[in-house]
């Protein structure tokens, strides 16, 4: 699967900011909106991320950035489908800073869409328009904000995979991120890549983001270690989830934060208005979700049929030599350490069934609470 994008020239930057831990306390979350410029300047001068390839371990994303990335990614989905084609990949820039309160943490405070659209590996962009836009945006932010442009995001709006999200880096994404890291990291501005999976976000009602950094070419990653830090022996599984470049980048933990003022406003809205939407609608019954759901069911049925054919073919070829799964041999789909062909489609079908059942339970609960005999 492809990635969106290719930008070439790293940005120069301006001064920046400081944060803390969202889950520890609300005061800590509020501190993410304040800036200790002296500490930040010292951190940018020390630039520990240059000497330690895995120094950065966490990305904290503010509400404005999260909302803008999701809205932009989903607008690409709608635009592509509306024009009778596939969802379109989109791309943008991130505003933020390294944290001075929590080592190894980046804080993303805002996001800005770029005039770039792509279809999987192919990108449609007017390079001069993009460069001019970025220069104008950088100049404006230098005058109005204390953070810097410190990363980029793009979407992977591929069909919903019931087992994995599409948040990974492709070959193109890897080269783009490496170029930016080489240009920005040495100047005290550690560069971050975020990938958004808009279709899975909608299907699962959870924001599907992946935050990544690329290893420098001279760094050798631990053997068989995938970007999430797990050791996976089977190459096919590594490639399926993380792409062909699985050993050249790593994933950062993501946390979302919100100020106490924003939480208060959301609380008021939820209490006075948003509860009506929860009771008045069921996402699984909405037209778009119903249409998407039937497509996903068809895809899983086809996967099961293909897996069944593969299993039967392997079974019949092993009958003569006594290596079929039923005869206890080691060459068929039941080989030690190897998942049976039906394992993945079965897990996917279970995910779809759970999603549907949850929607039906919600409807039953609403009828029990508010329905009349």
**In this predicted model, what pLDDT tens digit does every residue of 286-332 receive, in sequence order?**
665 666 666 777 777 777 777 777 767 665 555 444 433 343 444 44
* Exposure b/e, 349-359, CB count within 10 A at least 16 = b: bebbeebeeeb
The reported pLDDT for the residue numbered 95 is 95
Q: What is the pLDDT of residue 270?
A: 67
For range 227-236, the mean pLDDT: 93
pLDDT at 191 (0 to 100):
96
Question: Strand 122-125 relative to strand 89-98: parallel, antiparallel, unpaired?
Answer: unpaired
- Helix or strand run (H / E) with residue 176: helix 171-184
Q: 3-state DSSP call for residue 299?
A: helix
Average pLDDT value for the chain = 78
Q: Which pLDDT does position 127 carry in this prediction? A: 65
**Top-confidence residue, 128 or 243:** 243
Region 97-118 average pLDDT: 91
**pLDDT for 369:** 67
- Concatenating the DSSP letter of every residue in 132-153 gives HHHHHHHHHHHHH-SSEEEEEE
Predicted confidence at residue 252, as pLDDT, reads: 97
Query: Which pair of structure tokens corresponds to residue 239?
Result: 């490639």
One-character DSSP codes across 193-254:
EEEE-HHHHHHHTS--EEEEEEPPTT--PPTTB-TTS-B---HHHHHHHH-TTTTSEEEEEE
Q: In this model, does residue 17 exceed pLDDT 60? A: no
Q: If pLDDT is split at 50, 70 and 90, which confidence band does 56 have? A: very high
Q: Which residue has 């940018």 as its token pair? A: 44
Q: How far apart are CA 151 and CA 64, in angstroms?
A: 15
User: Residue 130's pLDDT band (boundaries 50, 70, 90)?
Assistant: confident
Which position has the higher pLDDT, 135 or 256? 256
Contacts of 111 (CB under 8 A, 6+ apart): 64, 65, 68, 69, 72, 92, 93, 94, 95, 153
Across the chain, how many H-helices and E-strands are there? Answer: 12, 8
**Average pLDDT of the segment spanning 27-36:** 79
- Predicted confidence (pLDDT) at residue 170 exceeds the cutoff of 60: yes
Q: CA–CA separation, 40 vs 99, rounded Å?
A: 8
Contact 8, 178 (CB under 8 A): no
- CA distance readout (Å), 275 to 271, 279, 358: 6, 6, 18
Distance, in Å, from the CA atom of 277 to the CA atom of 270, rounded to the nearest integer, reads 9
CB 120 within 8 A of CB 136: no
Task: Take residue 226 and report the two structure tokens written for it.
Answer: 């995938």
Q: Is the pLDDT of residue 10 over 80?
A: no
Confidence of residue 232 (pLDDT cuts 50, 70, 90): very high
Q: Which structure tokens are listed for 204?
A: 């699962």
Greater confidence (319 vs 62) lies with 62
Q: Say which range, 105-119, 255-269, 341-355, has the weakest mean pLDDT.
A: 341-355
Give the three-state DSSP class for 32.
coil
pTM for this prediction: 0.70
CA distance 11 to 16: 14
pLDDT at 322: 42
Q: What's the average model confidence in pLDDT over 66-81?
A: 91
Mean pLDDT of the region 123-144 = 75
Output the CA torsion 156→161→165→170 (10° steps).
Answer: -50
The predicted pLDDT at position 347 comes to 74
Q: What mean pLDDT do residues 178-197 have?
A: 95
Strands (E), the chain: 58-61, 89-98, 105-119, 122-125, 148-155, 192-196, 209-214, 249-256
What is the model's pLDDT at position 264?
A: 80
Q: Which of 211, 208, 89, 93 is nearest to 157 (CA)?
A: 89
């Amino acid at each position: 699967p492809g990635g969106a994008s290719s930008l070439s020239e790293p940005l120069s930057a301006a001064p920046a900011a400081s944060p803390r831990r969202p889950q520890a306390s609300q005061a800590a979350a509020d501190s993410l909106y304040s800036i200790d410029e002296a500490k930040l300047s010292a951190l940018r001068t020390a630039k520990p991320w240059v000497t330690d390839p895995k120094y950065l371990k966490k990305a904290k994303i503010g509400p404005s950035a999260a909302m803008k990335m999701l809205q932009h990614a989903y607008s690409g989905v709608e635009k592509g489908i509306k024009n009778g084609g596939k969802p379109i990949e989109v791309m943008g820039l991130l505003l933020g800073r390294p944290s001075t309160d929590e080592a190894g943490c980046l804080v993303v405070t805002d996001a800005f869409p770029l005039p770039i659209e792509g279809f999987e590996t192919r990108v449609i962009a007017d390079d001069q328009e993009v460069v001019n836009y970025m220069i104008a945006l950088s100049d404006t932010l230098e005058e109005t904000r204390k953070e810097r442009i410190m990363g980029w995001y793009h979407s992977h709006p591929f069909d919903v995979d019931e087992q994995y999200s599409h948040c990974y880096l492709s070959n193109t994404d890897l080269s783009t991120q490496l170029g930016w890291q080489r240009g920005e990291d040495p100047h005290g501005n550690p560069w971050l890549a975020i990938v958004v999976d808009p279709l899975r976000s909608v299907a699962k009602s959870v924001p599907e983001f992946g935050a990544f950094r690329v290893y420098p070419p001279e760094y050798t990653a631990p053997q068989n270690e995938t970007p999430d830090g797990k050791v996976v022996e089977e190459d096919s599984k590594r490639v399926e989830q993380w792409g062909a470049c699985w050993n050249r980048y790593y994933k950062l933990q993501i946390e979302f934060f919100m100020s106490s003022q924003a939480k208060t406003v959301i609380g008021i809205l939820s209490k006075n208005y948003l509860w009506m939407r929860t009771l008045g609608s069921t996402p699984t019954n909405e037209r778009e979700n119903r249409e998407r759901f039937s497509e996903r069911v068809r895809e899983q049925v086809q996967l099961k049929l293909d897996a069944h054919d593969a299993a039967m073919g392997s079974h019949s070829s092993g009958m003569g030599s006594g290596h079929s799964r039923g005869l206890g041999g080691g060459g068929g789909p039941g080989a030690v350490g190897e998942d049976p062909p039906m394992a993945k489609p079965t897990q996917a079908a279970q995910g779809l069934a759970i999603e549907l059942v949850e929607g039906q339970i919600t409807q039953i609960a609403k009828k029990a609470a508010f329905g009349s005999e």
